[in-house]
Amino acid sequence: MDDQRCILHICKRAVWEAALQVGSYEGDTLASEGFIHCSTSEQVVDVADCRFKGVRDLLLLVIDPRQVRPEVKYEEAANGQHYPHIYGPLNIDAVVSAVAFPPQADGTFRLPDLGGATGV
C-alpha cells in the first residue's frame, strides 16, 4: 500500500476461504453487533492475546481502508483506544493480503511481517 496505512482483522482460515467463494466477508459480529471488529497494527497483538490465545489456523487480514465500501468508524473502547469497525460486509478486494497468524509456543502472538503496511 503506497501510503503505508492499513486496518487489521483476525479470522480463521476456513472462514476467509469461504468468504473468497462468495466475494465478501461478514465476520461473526456483523449480525450480532452490527459491525466487524478490526484493529490497528498497534492493537492487534493485544486483541489476539486476549481473544485468541493459543488458537491456531488464524489469518490476519490486511485491509486498505480506502478500498472498503461500507462505512468505517474509529470508535472508542473501554480502554480509551479507538478501534476501527466496518459497518457492513467487507468487500474482499479491500483486503491487500491475508497473512498467517500463528501463536507462539506459549500461545501468545507476535505481529507478523505485513509487507511494510502499518496501522492508521
Q: How far apart are CA 120 and CA 14, in angstroms?
A: 27
**What pairs with residue 58 in β-bridges?**
12
pLDDT at position 5, please?
78
In the chain, how many domains are there?
1
pTM score above 0.95: no
Helix (H, G, I), strand (E, B) or coil at 34: coil
Q: Which amino acid is at 77?
A: A
Q: For residue 27, tell me if it sits in a domain.
A: yes
Q: How far apart are CA 58 and CA 38, in angstroms?
A: 14
> Which CATH number covers residue 50?
3.20.170.20
pLDDT at position 118, please?
52
Owner of C-alpha cell 507476535: 110
> Tens place of pLDDT for every residue, the chain, 120 residues?
333 479 999 999 999 999 999 999 999 899 999 999 999 989 999 999 999 999 999 999 999 999 999 999 999 999 899 999 999 999 999 999 999 999 999 999 999 988 766 554
- Asked if 101 and 39 count as a contact pair (C-beta separation under 8 A), the reply is no
Which structural domain, as residue segments, surrounds residue 61? 5-100
